[in-house]
């Protein structure tokens, strides 16, 4: 499966880089960005297909036409959104669609071939879902093109690497509205993601209406059963399955508080609270699960059912009355064995409901039926181990969007790599040496050791990957920009050939995809703007300028409740601050770094644009300081704004020096290097897990992102 782009007729095979160059050379409004990159793109000569009317799809062999007609209508609506053009209904463009097999299913028949030629667009899909994937490609080929649509004649051949390509939303920690979930589903369809895993219950809440156990819903917000049915149908229309997760036996405080008769509560306290879990020693627990899962499972027609199974405390059951008897009767040596016993009974319940069970990696080795799917979340080793025991496996380690790592971090981790995600042994050793408390948290399960590559049998068991966005610091209004555009880069990792690894090219396309997603309906920027305007109604622009070139600290460093909890205090953190609004990847700063590199490489015409940009950043400081004075939510970021201005000045001096043909003085270089070193420190301070607890974090939890671009300019001017 080699990625190739060819230009027929001229006999030139284009490398990825050349293709990108070609696209950049095209007028900006026409530059398409394909993501995930297809298996192959062959340009057929230099001709273009002009689109002046709506796309008129004609389906053959695709079975029930209704869902695909709706898909075609969505496609046309998006074309309108992306272009703003009034298309003439009298000159429709033929989209002739054929399916090789009419069988549906979100991971069946996703492969397609797409040809753009003089007579229109032809789609030859393996199945109806492949038509949806081809439509997603058409959206991107149209691109943002307000001056008119022209698509180069070409042939695309495409098929996914993995049949399971997902994201996970955590509706339990903080409730997520149906409207917000639907926006994410829309974006998923555009990126060819096919699985939405909803984490629906946890300590903080049980989020699906239960008529059998109504007390589960007494404590907070939840989805009505009718809303669930609507969501499931909405997703299915877009070729996306919804996987429900009800986390047991741990992460279940909400259940235990509502129905204490099925719970175990420890006498000892952990972080100031008693621990809770379902009680594996009581028959009432299994009757409860049978009835609860029996009510929930039919709401979700997908054959998979996720029961969690993660992070069960090993002491929660110590004080339980029936525990000794259970352990003796079932010959269970320890609480790990008790947990396995519980999971086997839960698996039997799930099986009776006709579902295939999924559990987090802790369920590996619990003696579960071989068809149980394991979701690896802490290390690549866990994925390797789960496949080695014969379980189908979904890879999530390395793709945790809630850790706020940049897009290219997860993009650089191959789902099939056996030692790529997790703490290195050296890092773990260092952390354990720091304090007994840390040693307690840094378990072996977090450590990724060197590991043999997957065998061909193991490779077959790796069915795909999922990017989770846990909800501790991701309330409804942050979902869009915490999920996107980073999930688009991961969608490529999960769909495209493993050989597609060029990060610079990914970011170039991601910038376009991000614009397209916003134009099509994401609330990412609207939400950032809402936060800025709330904090500084008198000059939200100054705040927005600062946010555009900063990003939040990573790896839970912004979750201040953790430290409070460790100190035995409860603390409610409002998630409406600058660090909540800042984009994880500053695409503005990246663009600046690219421009700086081109300038340093000799494109002198960029001097004016670079200087204007740097002057804006320098001048924003005065504006920002004015709104920040006396504003409690902005005070902390005053040094951030100063730092941006100081860096901008260093960059301006560098461009001036290059333009004047002189070298920066050693003192100037030294001053700039000091600033840049400070920035590198800020970036490093939360780069790795646990850093948040052992390293000071930058002001306002914000990392300034223009360092790499300024570095390029200063180096260029120092070397003159």
Shortest Å distance, C-beta 468 to ligand TNX:
6
Q: Tokens representing 21?
A: 């160059």
Contact between residue 165 and residue 192 where contact means Cβ atoms under 8 Å apart: yes
Report the relative pairing of strands 273-278 and 263-270 from DSSP bridges.
antiparallel
Which is closer to ligand TNX, CB of 32 or CB of 166? Answer: 166
**Total number of residues binding ligand TNX (CB under 6 A)?**
8
Shortest Å distance, C-beta 281 to ligand TNX:
24
3-state secondary structure of 145: coil
- Per CB under 6 A, which of residues 336..355 are in contact with ligand TNX? none
DSSP class of residue 272 equals T
Q: How far apart are CA 252 and CA 385, in angstroms?
A: 27
Q: Where are the beta strands (DSSP E) in 185-342?
A: 195-202, 205-206, 241-248, 263-270, 273-278, 304-308
DSSP class of residue 94 equals E
Shortest Å distance, C-beta 104 to ligand TNX:
31
Which is closer to ligand TNX, CB of 548 or CB of 584? Answer: 584
Shortest Å distance, C-beta 202 to ligand TNX:
7
Shortest Å distance, C-beta 339 to ligand TNX:
14
Which is closer to ligand TNX, CB of 584 or CB of 644? Answer: 584
Is 88 among the residues that bind ligand TNX (CB under 6 A)? no
Shortest Å distance, C-beta 169 to ligand TNX:
12
Which is closer to ligand TNX, CB of 169 or CB of 517? Answer: 169
| Dihedral angle sign, alpha carbons of residues 580, 583, 588, 593 | positive
Which is closer to ligand TNX, CB of 100 or CB of 561? Answer: 561
Is 360 among the residues that bind ligand TNX (CB under 6 A)? yes
Q: How many CB atoms lie within 10 A of CB 617?
A: 27
Which is closer to ligand TNX, CB of 217 or CB of 396? Answer: 396
Closest C-alpha to 579, from 627, 622, 522, 532:
532
Shortest Å distance, C-beta 251 to ligand TNX:
6
Shortest Å distance, C-beta 503 to ligand TNX:
25
Which is closer to ligand TNX, CB of 473 or CB of 655? Answer: 473
Shortest Å distance, C-beta 360 to ligand TNX:
4
Those residues whose C-beta lies under 8 Å from the C-beta of residue 375, and which sit 6 or more positions away, are 306, 358, 359, 360, 361, 393, 394, 396, 466
* Percent of residues in the chain assigned helix, strand, coil, to nearest 5: 50, 20, 35
Residue 639: Cβ-neighbour burial (10 angstroms; 0-12, 13-18, 19+): middle
H-assigned helices in 111-224: 128-142, 178-190
Q: Is the peptide bond before 36 cis (omega within 30 degrees of 0)?
A: yes
Q: What angle do CA 555, 556, 561 make, to 5 degrees?
A: 165
DSSP class of residue 239 equals T
Which is closer to ligand TNX, CB of 59 or CB of 383? Answer: 383
Q: Tokens representing 350?
A: 């799930």
Shortest Å distance, C-beta 398 to ligand TNX:
12
The dihedrals phi and psi of 156, each to the nearest 5 degrees, come to -115, 130
Shortest Å distance, C-beta 562 to ligand TNX:
9
Choosing from 3, 377, 494, 624, the residue that interacts with ligand TNX (CB under 6 A) is 377
Is 203 among the residues that bind ligand TNX (CB under 6 A)? no
Consecutive H or E run containing 7: strand 4-8
- Per CB under 6 A, which of residues 391..430 are in contact with ligand TNX? 402
Is 470 among the residues that bind ligand TNX (CB under 6 A)? yes
Shortest Å distance, C-beta 76 to ligand TNX:
39
Which is closer to ligand TNX, CB of 62 or CB of 692? Answer: 692
Which is closer to ligand TNX, CB of 251 or CB of 705? Answer: 251
Which is closer to ligand TNX, CB of 165 or CB of 251? Answer: 251
Is 472 among the residues that bind ligand TNX (CB under 6 A)? yes
- Per CB under 6 A, which of residues 236..255 are in contact with ligand TNX? 251
Which is closer to ligand TNX, CB of 545 or CB of 555? Answer: 555
Which is closer to ligand TNX, CB of 386 or CB of 587? Answer: 386
- Per CB under 6 A, which of residues 298..317 are in contact with ligand TNX? 310-311
Which is closer to ligand TNX, CB of 250 or CB of 651? Answer: 250
Give the number of C-alpha atoms closer than 13 A to the C-alpha of residue 218, restricted to the C-beta side: 11
Longest pairwise C-alpha distance within the chain: 86
Which is closer to ligand TNX, CB of 638 or CB of 688? Answer: 688
Shortest Å distance, C-beta 54 to ligand TNX:
45
Shortest Å distance, C-beta 243 to ligand TNX:
14
Shortest Å distance, C-beta 551 to ligand TNX:
19
Which conformational region is residue 413 in: left (phi greater than 0), alpha (psi within -120 to 50 degrees), or beta? beta
Contact between residue 82 and residue 42 where contact means Cβ atoms under 8 Å apart: no
Consecutive H or E run containing 14: strand 12-14
Contact between residue 205 and residue 172 where contact means Cβ atoms under 8 Å apart: yes
Those residues whose C-beta lies under 8 Å from the C-beta of residue 328, and which sit 6 or more positions away, are none
Binding mask 529-568 for ligand TNX (x = CB under 6 A): ----------------------------------------
Those residues whose C-beta lies under 8 Å from the C-beta of residue 273, and which sit 6 or more positions away, are none
Cα of 51 vs its chain's centroid, Å: 33
Q: How far apart are CA 590 and CA 178, in angstroms?
A: 33
| Dihedral angle sign, alpha carbons of residues 302, 185, 236, 57 | negative
DSSP class of residue 297 equals G
Q: How far apart are CA 466 and CA 487, in angstroms?
A: 10
Q: Where are the beta strands (DSSP E) in 392-541?
A: 393-395, 462-469
Is 257 among the residues that bind ligand TNX (CB under 6 A)? no
Which is closer to ligand TNX, CB of 202 or CB of 683? Answer: 202
3-state secondary structure of 248: strand
Shortest Å distance, C-beta 163 to ligand TNX:
22
Contact between residue 350 and residue 292 where contact means Cβ atoms under 8 Å apart: no
Is 494 among the residues that bind ligand TNX (CB under 6 A)? no
Which is closer to ligand TNX, CB of 158 or CB of 247? Answer: 247
- Per CB under 6 A, which of residues 161..180 are in contact with ligand TNX? none
Shortest Å distance, C-beta 252 to ligand TNX:
11
- 120-125 sheet: strands from edge to edge: 12-14, 4-8, 40-51, 149-158, 112-117, 120-125, 93-99, 55-60
Q: Which residues bind ligand TNX (CB under 6 A)?
A: 251, 310-311, 360, 377, 402, 470, 472
């Amino acid at each position: 499966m080699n990625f190739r782009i060819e230009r027929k007729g001229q006999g030139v095979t284009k490398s990825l880089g050349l293709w990108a160059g070609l696209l950049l050379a095209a007028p900006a409004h026409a530059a398409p960005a394909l993501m995930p990159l297809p298996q192959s793109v062959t340009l057929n000569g230099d001709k273009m297909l002009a689109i002046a009317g709506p796309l008129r799809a004609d389906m053959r062999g695709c079975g029930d036409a209704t869902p695909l007609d709706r898909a075609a209508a969505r496609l046309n609506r998006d074309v309108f959104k992306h272009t703003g053009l009034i298309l003439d209904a009298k000159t429709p463009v033929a989209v002739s669609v054929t399916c090789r097999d009419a069988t549906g299913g979100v991971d069946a028949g996703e492969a397609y071939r797409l040809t753009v030629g003089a007579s229109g667009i032809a789609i030859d899909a393996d199945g109806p879902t492949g038509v949806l994937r081809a439509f997603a490609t058409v959206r991107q080929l149209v691109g943002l093109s307000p001056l008119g649509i022209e698509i180069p004649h070409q042939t695309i051949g495409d098929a996914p690497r993995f049949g399971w390509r997902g994201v996970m939303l955590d509706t339990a920690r903080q409730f997520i509205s149906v409207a917000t979930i639907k926006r994410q589903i829309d974006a998923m369809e555009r990126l060819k993601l096919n699985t939405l895993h909803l984490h629906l219950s946890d300590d903080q809440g049980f989020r699906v209406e239960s008529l059998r156990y109504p007390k589960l819903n007494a404590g907070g917000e939840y989805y009505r059963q009718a809303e669930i049915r609507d969501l499931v149908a909405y997703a299915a229309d877009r070729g996306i399955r919804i996987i429900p997760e009800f986390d047991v036996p741990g992460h279940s405080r909400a259940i235990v508080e509502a129905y204490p008769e099925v719970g175990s509560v420890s006498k000892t306290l952990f972080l100031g609270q008693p621990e809770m879990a379902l009680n594996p020693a009581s028959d009432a627990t299994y009757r409860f699960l049978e009835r609860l899962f029996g009510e929930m499972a039919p709401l979700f027609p997908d054959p998979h059912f996720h029961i969690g199974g993660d992070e069960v405390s090993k002491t929660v059951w110590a004080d339980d009355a029936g525990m000794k008897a259970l352990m003796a009767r079932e010959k269970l040596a320890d609480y790990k064995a008790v947990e396995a016993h519980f999971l086997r009974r839960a698996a039997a319940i799930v099986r009776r409901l006709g579902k295939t069970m999924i559990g987090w990696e802790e369920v590996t080795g619990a003696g579960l039926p071989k068809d149980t799917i394991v979701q690896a979340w802490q290390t690549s080793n866990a994925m390797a181990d789960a496949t080695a025991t014969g379980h189908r496996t979904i890879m999530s380690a390395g793709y945790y969007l809630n850790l706020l790592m940049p897009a290219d971090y997860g993009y650089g981790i191959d789902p099939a790599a056996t030692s790529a995600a997790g703490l290195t042994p050296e890092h773990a050793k260092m952390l354990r040496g720091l304090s007994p408390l840390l040693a307690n948290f840094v378990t072996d399960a977090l450590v990724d050791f060197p590991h043999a590559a997957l065998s061909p049998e193991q490779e077959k068991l790796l069915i795909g990957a999922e990017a989770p966005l846990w909800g501790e610091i991701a309330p409804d209004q942050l979902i869009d920009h915490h999920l996107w555009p980073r999930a688009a880069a991961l969608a490529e990792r999960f769909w495209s050939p493993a050989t597609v690894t060029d990060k610079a090219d990914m970011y170039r396309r991601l910038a376009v995809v991000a614009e397209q997603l916003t134009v099509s309906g994401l609330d990412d920027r609207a939400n950032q703007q809402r936060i800025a305007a709330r904090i500084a109604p008198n000059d939200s622009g100054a705040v927005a300028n600062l946010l555009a070139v900063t990003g939040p600290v990573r790896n839970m460093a912004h979750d201040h409740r953790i430290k409070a909890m460790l100190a035995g205090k409860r603390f409610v953190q409002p998630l409406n601050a600058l660090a909540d609004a800042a984009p994880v990847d500053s695409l503005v700063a990246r663009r600046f770094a690219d421009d700086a590199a081109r300038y340093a490489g000799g494109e002198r015409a960029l001097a004016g644009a670079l200087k204007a940009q740097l002057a804006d950043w320098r001048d924003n400081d005065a504006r920002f300081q004015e709104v920040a004075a006396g504003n409690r939510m902005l005070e902390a970021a005053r040094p951030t704004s100063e730092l941006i201005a100081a860096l901008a000045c260093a960059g301006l001096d560098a461009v001036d020096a290059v333009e004047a043909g002189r070298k920066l003085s050693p003192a100037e270089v030294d001053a700039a290097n000091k600033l840049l070193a400070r920035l590198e420190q800020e970036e490093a301070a939360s780069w790795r897990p646990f850093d948040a607890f052992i390293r000071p974090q930058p002001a306002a939890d914000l990392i300034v992102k223009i360092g790499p671009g300024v570095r390029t300019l200063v180096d260029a001017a120092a070397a003159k």
